[in-house]
């Protein structure tokens, strides 16, 4: 193996420590601490794990955590009423509605009901528009975490060829816009892209966010490229008792060619919550400026 392993777990711990220091300073100056409200509708097991981790880490950095669990059959109007209440609550600086929402709800309408200044996910249409046009925005947490790891690994990103695999609103599209803002030449590839291996082979930076286990192979990677693997896929290896987590990249073959690569787990994953806490602190600071 030749690649440097990018330790997202350690980097996220540093980000959280910085947030904790600033929360303590804000408390000393204003007597108040940032508050993050997390809303979970239904009982999706993966979402329950994320929400539990979010709440624990929010408290660990000294912020207030407000958890709202609603039944899967909750009416959309009741969720919108809760969001209106959180928008008006001065103790709440950040609001996150965990996705996916149950099928009977209109996720777009729900997200756009959040006060855009409290939209710590960066999914509100005002924040999306600000990011695309280069204005000060709340930036989605996972792409922001990827950007931090890339800048830490490469220094400036200016002039690099970047390929983002995946065009979701949560990762692919905001990632592409962040890379563009940093001066990369960006290609957004996806499930319909022709000759995907050839497209990826051009890239100095590969961000894989397709949700297909171990799809990206080592012979797709330009020697020395930096590979950021956003995938978290649970697979059951033949003959193995326990399921294991793998990324969207075939780690061993990619690590043999790449200059640096994030592992799964322990790469991008921990950065998402660290960036959520950083965004909540940012929202608090803007409101108290």
Please enumerate, by residue number, every residue annotated as part of a binding site for NADP(+). 166-168, 232
Tell me if 86 sits within 8 A of 92, measured CB to CB. yes
Q: Which stretch binds ligand GUN (CB under 6 A): 15-23, 26-34, 93-101, 183-191?
A: 93-101
List the strands of the sheet with 35-41, edge to edge.
64-70, 35-41, 94-97
Q: Which H helix or E strand runs over 186?
A: strand 185-189
Is 107 a binder of ligand GUN (CB under 6 A)? Answer: no
**Pairwise CA distance, residues 24 & 26, whole Å:** 5
> From the list 82, 83, 170, 277, which residue makes contact with ligand GUN (rule: CB under 6 A)?
170
Is 58 a binder of ligand GUN (CB under 6 A)? Answer: no
The token duo for 242 is: 């326990």
- Comparing CA positions, the residue from 128, 119, 127 lying closest to residue 83 is 119
Is 142 a binder of ligand GUN (CB under 6 A)? Answer: yes
Is 57 a binder of ligand GUN (CB under 6 A)? Answer: no
Indicate which residues carry an active-site annotation: 54, 98, 121
Min dist CB 142 to ligand GUN, Å, is 6
Min dist CB 202 to ligand GUN, Å, is 29
Report strand pairing: 94-97 vs 35-41. parallel
Is 121 a binder of ligand GUN (CB under 6 A)? Answer: yes
Report strand pairing: 185-189 vs 161-165. parallel
Residues annotated within a binding site: 166-168, 232
Q: Which H helix or E strand runs over 275?
A: helix 269-288
Backbone angles phi, psi at 177, to 5 degrees: -70, -35
Is 99 a binder of ligand GUN (CB under 6 A)? Answer: yes
- Number of residues lying near ligand GUN (CB under 6 A): 9
Interaction residues for ligand GUN, span 254-283 (CB under 6 A):
272
> From the centroid of its chain, how far is CA 36?
16
Q: Which stretch binds ligand GUN (CB under 6 A): 94-102, 161-169, 247-255, 261-269?
A: 94-102
Q: What is the DSSP letter of 166?
A: -
> From the list 22, 57, 58, 98, which residue makes contact with ligand GUN (rule: CB under 6 A)?
98
With CB atoms as reference, the residue minimizing the distance to ligand GUN is 99
Residues in contact with ligand GUN by CB under 6 A are: 96-99, 121, 141-142, 170, 272
């Amino acid at each position: 193996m030749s690649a440097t392993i990018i330790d997202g777990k350690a980097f996220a711990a540093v980000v959280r420590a910085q947030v904790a220091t600033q929360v303590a300073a804000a408390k000393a100056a204003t007597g108040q601490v940032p508050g993050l409200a997390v809303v979970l509708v239904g009982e999706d097991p993966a979402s329950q794990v994320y929400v539990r981790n979010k709440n624990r880490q929010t408290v660990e950095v000294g912020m207030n955590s407000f958890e709202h669990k609603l039944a899967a059959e909750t009416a959309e109007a009741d969720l919108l009423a809760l969001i209106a209440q959180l928008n008006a609550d001065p103790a709440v600086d950040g609001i996150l509605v965990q996705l996916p929402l149950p099928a009977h709800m209109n996720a777009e309408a729900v997200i756009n009901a959040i006060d855009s200044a409290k939209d710590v996910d960066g999914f509100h249409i005002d924040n999306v528009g600000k990011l695309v046009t280069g204005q000060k925005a709340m930036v989605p947490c996972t792409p922001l975490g990827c950007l931090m790891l890339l800048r830490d690994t490469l220094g400036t990103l200016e002039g690099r060829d970047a390929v983002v695999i995946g065009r979701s609103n949560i990762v692919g599209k905001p990632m592409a816009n962040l890379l563009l803002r940093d001066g990369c030449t960006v290609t957004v590839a996806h499930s319909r892209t022709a000759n995907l291996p050839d497209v990826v082979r051009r890239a100095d930076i590969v961000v894989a966010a397709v949700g297909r286990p171990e799809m990206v192979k080592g012979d797709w990677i330009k020697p020395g490229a930096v590979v950021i693997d956003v995938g978290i896929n649970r697979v059951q290896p033949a003959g193995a008792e326990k399921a294991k987590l793998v990324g969207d990249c075939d780690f061993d073959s990619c690590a043999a060619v790449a200059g640096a690569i994030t592992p799964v787990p322990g790469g991008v994953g921990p950065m998402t919550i660290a960036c959520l806490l950083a965004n909540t602190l940012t929202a608090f600071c803007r409101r108290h400026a």
